[in-house]
Amino acid sequence: MQFKLFRQSDIPEKYRSNFIHLYLDIAWFGVLSGTAINFLNVYAARLGASGLQIGLLTAAGAAVNLFLAIPAGHWVSKRRTGKAVFWSSVLLRIGYLFWIPLPWLFDNQTQVWALILLTFLMAIPLTPLSVGFNALFAEAVPERYRARVAGTRNITFAVAYVLSSLLAGFLLDTVSFPQGYQVVFLTGAVGAALSSYHIRQIKPLDEETAPLTPTKADSSSQAGSPPKTSALRLDIWRTPFRAVLLGLFFFHFAQYIITPLYPIAFVRQLGLNDSNIGAGTALYYLSAMLASFQLSRIVHRLGNKRVTAFGAMGMASYPIMLAFAQTVVHYYLLSFLNGVIFALVNGSYANYMLERIPPDDRPPHLAWYTMMLNLAILSSSVLGPLLADGIGLAPALIALGILRFTAGFVLLKWG
């Protein structure tokens, strides 16, 4: 059977370079994710961070993104998308270098707060990167190839993530604490730099829309609308895209409210070591890779909206079953099962959103999406640990799993 992961023979020549760089970008981002990002919360848990502090690692960045999303969308819309995304990625990823010397400089609790501060600062360039990358993807990939490219990126990410997380788990078990984490953070920083290099090589297909073309926001401003109103683009909330924004807000809220509870469950409930966690995340993304081979076919049959909604419902199974898990074998089985569901959601939700955005007005719409995403992250990252403190870890996992299922149903019905 022919392996077709990077097959380009049926793709027009003018698209091939973009597709390859999109695959290599996500491959190196997979290295970053499988090492530094994957083990950040685990490192914080081993330093003695509370559930609230782990939540703040996510919420600090979300707070910045929430307030900067609209200005960032306006900023990106007035520049070449590729250049704006590239320089944002460079400024963001320099921050990973500062994680490395923390054990030499601070005690455990001070390291936790330093990581929260660094995450806060790194969120400033992350905001235009988040807004701009989806717009760059849309400019660089024709609509008929988006499901295929998204699926292949999922597969590429999974391969890189599996290999790097296994390597990171091995390093953390063989190199003494905290030096092992410093090596893992360094590996992630290298992956981040190479990912940014490949982002720089991605070019918009329609060169006429990449430069400083006036968007609807600019046109309304020139027509005499107040500048503040133009920048905020409140008119978007009077379009059908409002339902998409509200549906995705609920989806992300239910997704991220559980995230701070995972490292606590892994370390303190199941007693997993770093090698166990690395192997579990590797299994998660291995199954995601296998499922991604079928993503294009599934999306073709059901559409991006249904795949996203059903995937969101399926994501409810992970926290519910984790609440009853007792051994590392349970953790491995859960990881493999839920990687399949992750692949469906991750490969479809952005395309579902892009289908409902006017092609000539992407940055303002994506800015509002980024704002809603970070509002969901900010509120959920604090509420999840508070709920677990109030009713206990296992009951919280079950309750929040039910919330995830509800979010998927809402997205299917009204999104």
pLDDT tens for residues 81-119?
788 888 989 999 999 999 999 999 999 999 999 999 998
Are the CB atoms for 124 and 68 separated by under 8 Å?
yes
Contacts for 245 with CB less than 8 Å, ≥ 6 apart: 236, 237, 368, 369, 372
Residues 156-178: pLDDT tens digits? 887 888 889 888 888 888 888 88
Sign of CA dihedral 150, 156, 159, 163: negative
The confidence score (pLDDT) of residue 19 equals 85
* pLDDT over 90 (residue 189): yes
Q: What proportion of the chain, given as a percentage, has pLDDT over 70?
A: 91
Residues 234-253: pLDDT tens digits? 788 888 888 888 888 998 89
Contacts for 408 with CB less than 8 Å, ≥ 6 apart: 251, 309, 310, 311, 312, 313, 314, 315, 316
Q: How many residues does the chain have?
A: 415
Q: Give CA 39 to chain center in angstroms.
A: 15
Q: Please give the helix or strand (H or E) that residue 89 lies within, else none.
A: helix 81-94
The confidence score (pLDDT) of residue 8 equals 63
The confidence score (pLDDT) of residue 6 equals 55
Q: Which residue has the tokens 């978007």?
A: 236
The confidence score (pLDDT) of residue 206 equals 65
| Domains of the chain in sequence order | 15-205+238-414 (1.20.1250.20)
pTM for the model = 0.68
Q: Which two tokens stand for residue 261?
A: 């509870």
Mean pLDDT of the chain: 82
Contacts for 90 with CB less than 8 Å, ≥ 6 apart: 125, 196
Q: Which two tokens stand for residue 249?
A: 């807000």
Residue 37 carries which DSSP code?
Answer: I
Sign of CA dihedral 221, 225, 230, 234: negative
* pLDDT over 60 (residue 28): yes
pLDDT band at 406 (very low <50, low <70, confident <90, very high): very high
Q: Which residue has the tokens 């079928």?
A: 294
Residues 195-245: pLDDT tens digits? 999 998 888 876 433 433 333 333 333 333 334 445 567 788 888 888 888
The confidence score (pLDDT) of residue 381 equals 79
3-class SS of residue 226: coil
Integer Cα distance of 315 and 313 in angstroms: 5
Q: Which two tokens stand for residue 91?
A: 């400024």
* pLDDT over 50 (residue 328): yes
* pLDDT over 70 (residue 10): no
* pLDDT over 70 (residue 138): yes
Integer Cα distance of 3 and 111 in angstroms: 45
Are the CB atoms for 381 and 56 separated by under 8 Å?
yes
Integer Cα distance of 325 and 404 in angstroms: 19
Are the CB atoms for 263 and 389 separated by under 8 Å?
no
Residues 275-309: pLDDT tens digits? 888 788 788 878 887 887 777 788 888 888 888 88
Q: Which two tokens stand for residue 361?
A: 């007005």
The confidence score (pLDDT) of residue 4 equals 54
Residues 68-88: pLDDT tens digits? 777 777 777 777 878 888 898
* pLDDT over 90 (residue 59): no
